A and B are shown apart, each in its own frame.
Chain A
Amino acid sequence: MGLTNEQILRYSRHILLKDVGVKGQKKLLESKVLIIGAGGLGAPVAMYLAAAGIGTIGIADADVVDLSNLQRQIIHSTPDVGKPKVQSAEETIHSLNPDVKVITYKQFVNASNILDLIEDYDFIIDGTDNFPAKFLINDACVLAKKPFSHAGIIRFKGQLMTYVPGQGPCYRCVFKDPPPKEAVPTCKEAGVIGCMGGVIGSLQAMETIKYLLGIGELLTGYLLTYDAITMEFRKVKLPKHVANCKVCGDNPTITEPIDYELPACELNLNKK
């Protein structure tokens, strides 16, 4: 199917790019991306992917919009306070780009539903804010052979890496196991500068688009770290293969997704 005149105009700045063109834009329109967590990271990812014309965007988040979210979660607005985040996100995406089909999942993502959830998607975004969720997404994507973008933000720092099956280490290769509860602070406890989600989330959107188009070098085998205070980006090289990784190593012991225990206040996976 060709692009409509309106689409040619809407995506003209993409179409001008040699690496995108009409062919690439059509590829984006046929792509499906799942965003887990419609918060600080998920908001800019969803908006840039929607603007870019990703044909189907799935959004999973069980939470409702809170006033304290609006300092960074730019997909939600003041009148959205109290509304389910997936609904608020869907409304913003629709007004941004009616080409995009939005599928919402107002639910907790856990070991029993994650494999079904990711199955239909070409690329997954980890926009969650806690380690049980980050390890769950990693393991599920490794097991289901799905590419995904990991990111984390706290205070004035952020990091991200891209996992592509068979092409480099996974999140667990680097960080092994979730740290014990409260051993490492969360954004809720430590704070985060609002636009950090914009910086790192936009990079996640960039990785997604590059992956879908099959262009350029991805952050596979690298962890990109950003420190806003020193204004330094560092691309840290990771080992190609970690033999003792529990999920993608030579003798994996993790063969299905795991629900790690969450503190009572964090029982909602997508909370905060």
Chain B
Amino acid sequence: MKLIIAGTEKQVENNITISKLIELENVETPQYVTVSVNDEFVSSESFDTQTLNDGDRIEFLYFMGGGQ
């Protein structure tokens, strides 16, 4: 199936979980990433169990602490 990850289409295995996708995408600081699926946030407690569907739009949002 295909997912749209940060705006780019990507083929992945069917019924992939969010945790698996985080691993596959080499997400930096995976325990502190905010994930949205189709513009809704997913609780990190559901990352291991929630599976994704064909055509889902995924965004990874990262902490950025700098500024000074």
Given known A-B contacts A179-B32, A239-B39, A40 and B63 have beta carbons under 8 A apart:
no
Which residues in A have their C-beta under 8 angstroms from that of B12?
none
Does chain A have a CB within 8 A of B6? Answer: yes
Given known A-B contacts A223-B61, A236-B61, A239-B41, A153 and B32 have beta carbons under 8 A apart:
no
Complex CA–CA separation, A225 to B41 (angstroms):
17
For B67, give its contact among A69, A183, A187, A239 (CB under 8 Å): A187
How many B residues face the partner with a CB closer than 8 A? 19
In the complex, what residue of chain B is closest to A72 when comparing beta carbons?
Answer: B68
Question: From residue 145 to 203 of chain A, which have CB atoms closer than 8 A to chain B?
Answer: 151-154, 157-159, 173-176, 179, 183-187, 190, 192, 197
Q: Which of A63, A185, A242, A270 has the most CB of B within 10 A?
A: A185
How many A residues face the partner with a CB closer than 8 A? 46
For A239, give its contact among B7, B29, B36, B66 (CB under 8 Å): B36
Interface majority SS (helix, strand, loop, mixed), chain B: loop
- The total number of A-B Cβ pairs within 8 Å is 91
A126-B34 in contact (CB<8A) = no
A127-B67 in contact (CB<8A) = yes
For A152, give its contact among B7, B34, B59, B66 (CB under 8 Å): B66
Question: From residue 220 to 252 of chain A, which have CB atoms closer than 8 A to chain B?
Answer: 223, 225, 234, 236-239, 242
Does chain B have a CB within 8 A of A37? Answer: yes
For A179, give its contact among B61, B63, B68 (CB under 8 Å): B63
Which residues in B have their C-beta under 8 angstroms from that of A32?
none
Chain A positions within 8 Å of B, measured between CB atoms, are 37, 39-42, 63, 69, 73, 126-131, 134, 151-154, 157-159, 173-176, 179, 183-187, 190, 192, 197, 223, 225, 234, 236-239, 242, 270-272
